[in-house]
A and B are shown apart, each in its own frame.
Chain A
Amino acid sequence: MMSNLSFVTPLALWGLLALPVIWWLMRFTPPRPQTIKFPPLRILLSLRSKEETPDKTPWWLMLLRLAMAALLIVAVAHPLLNQSATSNQTSGPLLLIVDDGWAAAKSWSKRQDTLIGILEEARAANRIVTLATTAPTLSPSTLKAVAAGDALSTIRATTPQALNTDRLALLARLTQQKPDAASVTWLSDGLDAGSSSAFAQGLTKLYGNTITALTLDSADLPLAISRPTIDGADIKITALRSPAAPNTAVLQASASDGRVLAELPLDFASKTSVTAKIDLPVELRNEIQKISIASEHQAGATQLLDDRWRRKTIAIQTGSAQEAAQPLLSPLHYVSNALAPFADLHEPATAADLKAELDAGLSMLVLADIGRVTKDTHDLLKPWIEKGGVLLRFAGPRLAAATDDLIPVKLREGDRNLGNALSWETPQTLQAFNDKSPFSGIAIDDRITVSRQVLAEPDIDLSEKTWSSLADGTPLVTASKEGKGLIILFHITANPDWSNLPLSGTFVEMLQRIVDLAPAAGSNAAANASAATAEDFAPHLVLTGNGELVSPTATLHSIPASKFDTTPASAQSPAGLYLRGGQERAINLNLGETDLAPITAVPLQKRVAPESKELAPQLFSAAALLFLADSLAALLLGGAFRRRSQGPSLAVLLALGTLLILPPQKAKADDQSDMAAALETHLAYVKTGNAEIDETSERGLKGLGLVMDDRTSAALGDPVGINIETDNLVFFPLLYWPVTENDQAPTDATLNKLDSYMRNGGTIFFDLRDSGGDFGSGSATGEALKRILANLDIPPLEPVPENHVLTRSFYLLKKFPGRYEGGPLWVETQDANAASNNSDGVSGIIIGSNDYAAAWALNEKGEPMNALIPGSERQREMAFRVGVNVVMYALTGNYKTDQVHIPALLERLGQ
């Protein structure tokens, strides 16, 4: 194996011709002298005759500079040192076969360097080259032999495709066209793809024993991900790995504007596949456009999500044509308002509209008080539900009178009236949701009452079908599975006629759970939908081999909607996003574990392609070193070092020596941290032990500190993480405590410390970090908080009342949003009779649930780190204002309380 040196830009080598000129120039340019003003110049001038002036640069300096210039010129020419990769046959035509599928994309530049090395060698040997690529192309070109120089420029312009290689198709073309070749080199992507041995045999049949198969280092084998699936509220992804590929990777879900929404570390633990779940709030999950493996940059490790993954379409119909003049009485008002944030809502006016929507793959249909659907509609609905549609029905006078069979349970005729003049019974409240019910965990407002309902016939499987029931056990929500779909019935109306449930937040949460159950839009679209075929799916963005989305070329054709779901990724229909009106569909590479099997046995001369070595960096650094040496030499010749007395340098040496000898002083670190904490006002957070939460807390408080610096006169130091068991709390006015689910009750010593901290004016801000949670509602963090506070002497708490100081300590606030909106903030009651155990009139404890630190957290660039839910800039601003108010409240104590009374004081003074 011989090695050769090739240059990427050989023209730059002409610059070497300039070296003699540089030499000649430098010969007469002596180093710059040191200039000194000198009074007795007259005396010096009298010595003129004795001084001969050698004005030449010393030869070694000249040599140094010439070497530097030569190195720079050669480095600019970008030399590559490559080991010879071709077979021993070094003359005659060369057939160069390149795998350019997605698997080659990961290390494409390395491959290109290898190919350039091979082609440079071919050019030196004056060989002609036939270039063949294995990924399918739209129009396969004829295999033509060209000069090696032309092949070089072709290779430089070639990019990998987002497709599987099709080596057998190339073999067929080779067999048909039979390009002349004295030797064959095949740079494979290292994957078997089920065809490597057949391909190799075919090649051997065509060209005999002149074939070399090259592979790269096995660490360059790719990772891939297979088609994601929905698992409950999570997206489940299986990542695939060829053996010997890297063992760890990072999975990224990103939005269409490139924002990274989630990152998951993957650890294959030497297995070939690993499953990961992306758990995101619905609103963020809906924004995911692409899931990819961060370090791979190739199409196989990229999966596109279309709107079937995010958008859910819901149609709503009602039996009574309600007048728009009284929207609050409309049965649809509450349903549509509850569903609007989570899905696309439509109200099909006619049966034809409904049919079109069902055909397009409606997710969910809401029928409010429709007793009997028409025969046609029934025939449409039935198969739609079988295929996975969710039918949600609300009762009402019409349904009570007569029903069809699209209901989950048999109903008694008529309805049941509770709590009216003719009834003994009082309006019923709801029973807590069963664990098996999809509603389990939703907090029930105890003000919800049901005064009228339709009743289910007692049945053996009634309890199984019941998702929610009244306090007396009669079912309120029932559901049954039909095929893949669901029929759900609320035994009350969708408006407040029969119950005030639709007025409550519980109703919204219940509907949200139901929407989560509904399939994504279009996933159950009718395959033979005739109306929809009118339009085709046009390519919108296509995936490159590097896993990037680019605009498609004009040569791509659109795909008929009827065939779309069965279309695999191919040259004609490359992986990418396709649009059809407002509908978005993705075509992805469909990879399985077998696709990542490496080439094992090929009956060819097999070699690992030697990597061509980049010499430019070494040359550049050598030139830089020479430059440093030259600068030193110039200083030396200028006499810069001779005049320096040895005193200072000796002192520097001594100082350095002392620094090295002296051990770092570690003693009294505790005192020092206390002193640092006492010298400046710091916000503090409790370290939970969970690195992610701690980082969020730290960054959150830092972000809040920046805002405080900007807007208020409070100058805060960097936030301090506190180990609640060991650290001293007395220095911190406010302690932010993110509660995690696993928090246990603190020790007695810690409790005493917390107690005295609160008594002496400290404020602890507990954050349950739980959307919409309330610490009474039994959420996991709420339970943890109860455990923490169980043995602490806590005064009575109340949600922040209207005129509380917290609402006006800096900003005027009505709500207290953080990352989530809506969770209340609890403080000690301000009631004068209540035994407040705090000395300064500031509540010693504040309990919030909106994950405040996540809303405040800013990254290094000062940009917010976390998306807000529901998320608007206004919400972030309000979150910061909440923070400012809380800090001001903790810092200023009862001064602000007094400010609240200023109007009253002024009035009294006036009298």
Chain B
Amino acid sequence: MLSQRAEQLSQSLPPLLVKAERIAATVILGVHGRRRAGPGENFWQYRNYSFGDSTQRIDWHRSAKSDAVYIRDNEWEAANTLWLWSNAGPRMDFKSHLASETKKHHAQILQLALASLAIRAHERIGAIGSHNRPAHGRIALRQIAEHCETPNDQPLPKPTQLQRQSAAVLISDFLDDPADIKSALTPLAQSGVRGHLVQIADPAEETLPYSGRVEFLGLEFPQRFLASKTENLRGAYAAAYQAQRDSTKQLAARLGWSFTVHRTDQPLTTCLLALHAKVSNA
């Protein structure tokens, strides 16, 4: 059973990863440097050898050019933790005739692209709700991808205690009851995490482009709604939808978080760039 799942996983994993990495490669990696000498890979400064320094750290190349003996300092680059979460519930499995992929697909690619970017910046990444600890490198990326595939119908992240100063990116359509969203996000914010909300929206969800006699079925619970003249509903619906979005936006503002909207008929790169800037600037 487990091996079967693993196999399924490995089948679907590569394209998702590759696509995510392709998108990530187009974004220039931001520097998480601490702007002082320390353990790191990038050159920071040469300084004179002083007592107490290990002789192994002498840069003989530089020292040979002059009489002094130099030590090469690299910039200190401390890794931060990026927490990722995306909604994998049934509601995300929706694709209207206006979009080319499901919302879930977009959310997962966005999540993996972010993870990929973070790994290249030597950040630790972890999935909220996963039992794996945050980790470095491709292993972590694989763990995230694996977590994406785990069936999970939680519409909102479980309240978890996260490290202070770490960043979290939460991707969902945020169509739940505003009260539920608030109660789920507030504990995260209280632990001092810098959060970023990404709302994935299908264009059809925003505009209700149907007409005539239509029966709408719910994806999470077996409820239905019969509209005999859908076109008449459009205005009221758009207002209600906007109200829902505004409530989430206000919540994010109150928590000091960012809020980004991504429509599934738009290229993911735009959203990823915006998100990248937000995550790296914060």
User: Which residues of A line the B interface, CB within 8 A?
Assistant: 30-31, 33-48, 50-51, 53-55, 637-639, 642-643
Contacts and interface: CB of A to CB of B under 8 A. Distances in A.
Contact of A33 (B202, B214, B237): B214
10 contacts: A33-B212, A33-B215, A35-B215, A41-B219, A42-B175, A44-B237, A48-B225, A51-B228, A55-B228, A639-B214
B205 A34 contact: no
A53 B218 contact: no
B213 A34 contact: yes
Given A41-B216, A41-B218, A43-B240, A36 B233 contact: no
B77 interface: no
A642 B226 CA distance: 18
A28 to B, nearest CB: 14
Contact of A36 (B92, B217, B228, B232): B217
A51 B227 contact: yes
Given A35-B214, A38-B94, 14 more contacts: A33-B212, A33-B226, A34-B215, A36-B217, A37-B94, A38-B205, A38-B216, A38-B225, A39-B219, A41-B217, A43-B240, A639-B210, A639-B212, A643-B211
A39 B225 contact: no
Contacts of A34: 210, 212-215
Contacts of A50: 233, 236
Contact of A39 (B94, B210, B214): B94
Interface string B186-230: 000000000000000010110001111111111100011111101
A47 B218 CA distance: 15
Interface in B148-185: 173, 175-177
B91 interface: yes
B44 interface: no
A50 B241 CA distance: 16
B65 interface: no
B214 to A, nearest CB: 5
A715 B211 CA distance: 57
B97 interface: yes
B80 interface: no
Interface string B230-254: 1011001100110010000000000
B212 A638 contact: yes
Contacts of A39: 91-92, 94, 103, 173, 175, 202, 205, 218-219
Most A-side CB within 10 Å, residue of B176, B205, B212, B237: B212
Given A34-B212, A47-B240, A40 B227 contact: no
Nearest to A642: B211
Interface in B134-156: none
A37 to B, nearest CB: 5
A572 to B, nearest CB: 76
A38 B103 CA distance: 12
Contacts, number: 104
B173 to A, nearest CB: 7
A43 B211 contact: no
B280 to A, nearest CB: 31
A638 B175 contact: no
Contacts of A642: 211-212
A640 to B, nearest CB: 8
A114 to B, nearest CB: 53
A638 B215 CA distance: 10
Most B-side CB within 10 Å, residue of A33, A45, A55: A33
A42 B237 CA distance: 11
A55 B204 CA distance: 26
B251 to A, nearest CB: 17
A38 B175 contact: no
A382 B151 CA distance: 114
Most B-side CB within 10 Å, residue of A40, A41, A638: A40
Nearest to B89: A39
A54 B215 contact: no
Most B-side CB within 10 Å, residue of A34, A35, A46, A48: A34
Contact of B226 (A40, A47, A53, A637): A53
Nearest to A56: B228
Contact of B225 (A44, A54, A55, A639): A44
A37 B233 contact: no
Nearest to A35: B215
B111 to A, nearest CB: 19
A32 to B, nearest CB: 8
Most B-side CB within 10 Å, residue of A41, A637, A639: A41
B177 to A, nearest CB: 8
Contacts of B227: 44, 51
A627 B97 CA distance: 30
A43 B213 contact: no
Most A-side CB within 10 Å, residue of B103, B219, B227: B227
A798 to B, nearest CB: 74
A44 B223 CA distance: 11
Contact of B228 (A38, A40, A53, A643): A53
Contacts of A33: 212-215, 226, 228
B233 A43 contact: no
Contacts of B91: 39
A45 B241 contact: no
Nearest to B214: A34
The 10 A-B residue pairs whose C-beta atoms are closest, nearest first, are A639-B212, A41-B218, A38-B216, A33-B213, A33-B215, A39-B91, A642-B211, A43-B240, A39-B94, A44-B225
Contacts of B232: 51
Given A35-B215, A36-B215, A36-B216, A41 B210 contact: no
B212 A46 contact: no
Contacts of B228: 30, 33, 51, 53-55
Given A54-B228, A643-B97, A41 B223 contact: yes
A643 B237 CA distance: 18
B209 A643 contact: yes
A38 B212 CA distance: 15
Contacts of A42: 175-177, 218
Contacts of B205: 38-40
A37 B97 contact: no
A47 B211 contact: no
A11 B133 CA distance: 84
B211 A51 contact: no
A595 to B, nearest CB: 72
B213 A45 contact: no
A36 B214 contact: yes
Given A43-B237, A44-B233, A37 B212 contact: no
A229 B233 CA distance: 90
Interface in B56-102: 91-92, 94, 97
Given A46-B240, A639-B210, A642-B212, A37 B217 contact: yes
Contacts of B215: 33-36
A548 to B, nearest CB: 59
Nearest to B232: A51
A627 B5 CA distance: 52
B95 to A, nearest CB: 10
Contacts of B217: 35-38, 41
A37 B219 CA distance: 6
A360 to B, nearest CB: 88
